[in-house]
Amino acid sequence: MSKEFSDRERKSGRATFYESDAVRKLLGDAFHPGGLALTRHLGEIIGLSQGNHVLDVACGRGSSAVHLAERFGCHVTGLEYNARNIVSAHALAEERGVSILTTFRQGDAEGLPFDDETFDAAISECSFCAFPDKARAAAEIARVLRPGGRLGLTDMTTSGPLPEDIQTLLSWVACIAGAGAAESYVETLKGAGFIDFTVEDQRSALLDLVTDIRRKLLGAEIAAGLGKLDLGDADLEEGKRLARQGAELIEKGAVGYTLIVARKR
């Protein structure tokens, strides 16, 4: 299998995973730890304000883009690989009355369809880890930011080699497959011309998300036991085991969630 083909498969494979109804029910519409509260924090820390043009790289269904437009009055362009997510993002912006402040476009983070120095700021949440060529994505983000433009990332991180059973976890948090140490993301971003880094450990947001998923799985089990929920062929035991394993890895510090802020030189 060629590298190009496998990268494309990986990107679209992830897109399908996040698109599934089961994942939506468990994670809600903000597909990242910390939800919109962490998005708001990211917006504050990169100093968003009215009149700014912000790029949301891998914007999913547009919940963060819509939230930033509502909260800061900035114009947000969401870029997303999965065309169906773009349709959902348009619908959400329409429903929330911020269509005038938002634009959504299908595309690849590794080849952004925008001119040089278009944006004042960029964010990317729970997605950088999923890009097969992170250096290229970082260079692309730097290219489309104006000089001095701010970047805010939040992402899955791993610390040191992971235990072997992490492989089973891949089916649960698909993007962990490409995650690395926060320091490696910083190095990649430095290589693309970013400076003035702020790094925050947001592991507790990831632990809260996993705890919430475990609570929902327990609720589903009780409802199924009372005959009030048909689980079909969903393997609840496997889901519970993976969630427990995930919580253990986070508590041990093997897997985390990190906020990184920097600016283009």
Ligand X SMILES: C[S@@+](CC[C@H](N)C(=O)[O-])C[C@H]1O[C@@H](n2cnc3c(N)ncnc32)[C@H](O)[C@@H]1O
Which residues lie near ligand X (CB under 6 A)?
11, 14-15, 18, 30-32, 58-60, 63-64, 80-82, 85, 108-110, 125-127, 130-131, 175
Instruction: For strands 53-57 and 119-125, give the pairing.
Output: parallel
Contact 103, 78 (CB under 8 A): yes
Residue 58 or 220: the one with the smaller Cβ distance to ligand X is 58
Residue 30 or 101: the one with the smaller Cβ distance to ligand X is 30
Give 44's contacts (C-beta < 8 A, 6+ positions apart): none
DSSP codes, 73-126: --EEEEEES-HHHHHHHHHHHHHTT-GGGEEEEE-BTTB-SS-TT-EEEEEEES
Q: Least separation, in Å, of the C-beta of 130 and ligand X?
A: 4
Residue 108 or 120: the one with the smaller Cβ distance to ligand X is 108
Residue 94 or 196: the one with the smaller Cβ distance to ligand X is 94
26 vs 8, 97, 204, CA distance in Å?
26, 26, 18
Round to whole Å and give the CA distance between 218 and 53: 42
Q: Least separation, in Å, of the C-beta of 61 and ligand X?
A: 7
Residue 65 or 262: the one with the smaller Cβ distance to ligand X is 65
Q: Least separation, in Å, of the C-beta of 110 and ligand X?
A: 6
Q: Least separation, in Å, of the C-beta of 223 and ligand X?
A: 27
Q: Least separation, in Å, of the C-beta of 226 and ligand X?
A: 32
Give 233's contacts (C-beta < 8 A, 6+ positions apart): none
